[in-house]
Amino acid sequence: MHDLLPTIPEQLSKILNDVHFFVPELYLSALFILVLLADLFIGKNSEKYCRAIAMAGLVIVFFKDYEQYTLTDEAGGTVSLFSGMLLLYGKAVSFKVIIDLLTCLLLLYFAWDNKLSTHKKGLSDLYTIIIGSVLGLHLMTMATNLLSIYLAIEMVSIASYLMVAYRSENGFSAEAGLKYVLFGAASSAVLLYGISLLYGFTGTLDIWDPKFMVNLSGAGSAGVGLALSLVLVGIGFKLSFVPVHFWVPDVYEGAATPVTAYLSTVPKIAAFALLINFVNAFVAVVPHPDFDFRLALSIIGVITMIAGNFAAVAQQNVKRMLAYSSIGHTGFALMAVVTYTPQGLTSLIYYLAVYAVANIAALLLATYFTNQTGAEKVGEYKGLGFKYPIASVCFVIILISLTGLPVSAGFTGKLFVFSSVYVVYQQSHDVWLLILMITGAVVTVVSLFYYIKIPLNLFLRKSSVVFTPDYSDKKVIVLAVVLSLLLLLFGIFPDWLYKTL
C-alpha cells in the first residue's frame, strides 16, 4: 500500500487528462441520472417528459461523438484511456454514432406499440434502462482490457434482461425474460472463466500489454485454446451466433416488439465492435500460434448463416422469422470481420448500419399490422396489401433490403462485404474465405424463400375476414416511408454513408 502512495498523484493526473476524450460517456451518465430523476419527481405523467429528455440528450451525445472523433484524429487516430482500460479510435466512434442514432429512432418507436404503451407502470423506467444500456454499449465499443470487456457486457446484459421482462404481467414475456437471465448468467460465467484462465496464463488483464502475448505463448496450446474459446462464447452470446443462439427465437418472440427491435440491432453492433477489439490484439502483429481466429470465426460464420436462414424458412410467426434471420445476418457480418482489413471493417459498419435500419423498420411495420389487425403470423397478412397499401409497399422495400436485392442498401452492403473478402482471398487464397463467399451467396437465395412469404400474403392471397381499415396511426406510416426511402437512397448512393464511416 505504501508503495502505491507516491504514484497516486501521477495516476490522477493521467485520469484527468483522459477525461476530455470521455465526454460523450460522461454526458450519457448525466442523462441517465436526469431521466431517472424526472421519473421520480414528475410522477405518473413523466413518460412523455422522460422520452423527450432522453431523445434530446442523445442528440447532444451525437454531437459530442463528433467532437470526440475530432480530438482522436488530432491525437494521432488512436488514444489509450484510463491506463489501457479503453481504446478510442475512429471506427469506435463510428460504431457509437450509429448506436446513438438508432437508439434515438427506437425511442420514437417504443411508445407506438399498443401492448407496451398500455403497460400499467408506463414507459418512464424503460427509457431510463435504455440510456443506461447505451452507456454500456459505448464502453463495449472501446473496451480492450479483459476487466472492462466483462463490465461493459454485464452493464448491457442487465439492462437487456430488464427490457425483455418489462411486461411482467404477460406470462410469455416473463418466461422469455427468465430464459434470457438464465442463459445470460451461464454465458457470463463462461466468459468470466475464460478471462480468469487468460489472467492465470499471463498475469495481466491488458490484452495489449507486450507480456500478455509472451506469457500466453508459453502456456499450453490446449489451455490457451480453451480460454479463448470461452471468451468467444461469452461475446458470441451478445452476437447470437451458433452455438450460443438458442435463446434468440423465444426471447425475441416473447419480448415486446420494440424491445426485440432494440436487442436485434444495437447491442449486436456494439458486440461486433467488441469482437474486433478483442481479435485485433491477437492478429495485429503476429497471429497467435495456438489459436487461429480466422479459422474459428469462419467456421462459426458458415454454420451460423446456414442454421439461421434455413431455420427461418420454417417459421410462421413474423417476429420468430426475423429472429432467425438476424442469426443469419450475424453469420454474414462475420465474413467482414475475418478479413482483418480497413476495407472489411468499413464494409462491416456499413452493412450493420443498413441491416439495423431495415430490421427496425420491419419490426415497426410488424407492430403496425398487429396494432391494426392483430396479425402476428405470416398467414394472417392475407389481403392486407390493398387495405394498407403504403405500409405494405414499404414492407416489401424493407424486405428486399434484408434479402439483399438490387437496388437496396442491403444489396450494396452485401456487395461491399463480398468485395472485401474477395480482395483478401486473392492475396491469401484461404479456402475458408472461398467457403464463406459461397455460403453467403447460397443463403442469400435461401433468405428470399422466407422473406417473400410476407409480400405473397399481402398482395397475392385473399382473406375471408372482413374489417374496416383504420388509417389513424399516421406517424408509423411516415417513419416507415422515411426509412424505406433511406434504404433506397443508400442503395443508389452508397457513398453518402460509406465515405463517412
Within a domain: 228:
no
Res 67: pLDDT = 86
At CA 204, angle to CA 199 and CA 210, rounded to 5? 125
Res 135: pLDDT = 94
Res 4: pLDDT = 58
Same domain, 268 and 383: no
Within a domain: 75:
yes
Per-residue pLDDT for 425 more than 80?
A: yes
* DSSP notation for 301-354: HHHHHHHHHHHHHT--BHHHHHHHHHHHHHHHHHHHHTT-SHHHHHHHHHHHHH
Within a domain: 85:
yes
Same domain, 280 and 378: no
Within a domain: 179:
yes
Same domain, 369 and 310: yes
Residue 385 CA to its chain's centroid (Å) = 30
Give CA–CA dist 401/491, Å, rounded.
Answer: 9
Within a domain: 212:
no
Same domain, 264 and 376: no
For the chain, percent of residues with pLDDT exceeding 90 = 46
Give the global pTM: 0.93
Query: Is 70 exposed, middle or buried (CB count within 10 Å of its CB: 0-12, 13-18, 19+)?
Result: exposed
Q: What share of the chain is helix, strand, coil (3-state, %, to 5)?
A: 80, 5, 20
At CA 160, angle to CA 298 and CA 501, rounded to 5? 55
Same domain, 45 and 168: yes
Same domain, 170 and 25: yes
Within a domain: 232:
no
Note down the domain range covering 435. Answer: 298-501
Res 8: pLDDT = 64
Do residues 102 and 356 make contact, with C-beta atoms less than 8 angstroms apart?
yes
Res 400: pLDDT = 94
Within a domain: 350:
yes
Same domain, 138 and 278: yes
Number of domains observed in the structure of the chain = 2
Burial 337-346 (b: 16+ CB within 10 A, else e): bbbbeebbbb
Do residues 35 and 53 make contact, with C-beta atoms less than 8 angstroms apart?
yes
Last residue of some domain: 256, 291, 326?
291
Same domain, 185 and 311: no
Do residues 359 and 327 make contact, with C-beta atoms less than 8 angstroms apart?
no
Last residue of some domain: 259, 291, 323?
291
Same domain, 270 and 315: no
Res 467: pLDDT = 62
More confident residue, 462 or 496: 496
Same domain, 81 and 121: yes
H helix or E strand, kind and range, residue 437: helix 431-451
Lowest-confidence range among 147-151, 163-167, 185-189? 163-167
Contacts of 383 (CB under 8 A, 6+ apart): 457, 458, 461, 462, 463, 465
Give CA–CA dist 148/206, Å, rounded.
Answer: 10
Same domain, 327 and 428: yes
Res 436: pLDDT = 93
3-state secondary structure of 295: helix
The model's pLDDT over 447-475, given as tens digits with 9 standing for 90+, comes to: 999 999 999 988 887 766 666 666 667 88
Within a domain: 195:
no
The CA-atom distances, in angstroms, between 373 and each of 271, 336, 468 are 36, 40, 10
Same domain, 287 and 401: no
C-alpha cell at 61: 451525445
Average pLDDT over residues 479-483: 93
The model's confidence at residue 130, banded by pLDDT at 50, 70 and 90, is very high
Q: What is the mean pLDDT of the chain?
A: 87
Give CA–CA dist 27/372, Å, rounded.
Answer: 38
The model's confidence at residue 335, banded by pLDDT at 50, 70 and 90, is very high
Average pLDDT over residues 220-243: 87
Average pLDDT over residues 438-452: 92
The model's pLDDT over 58-114, given as tens digits with 9 standing for 90+, comes to: 999 999 988 888 888 777 778 888 888 898 888 999 999 999 999 999 998 888 887
C-alpha cell at 354: 443498413
Average pLDDT over residues 209-213: 83
Last residue of some domain: 272, 291, 310?
291
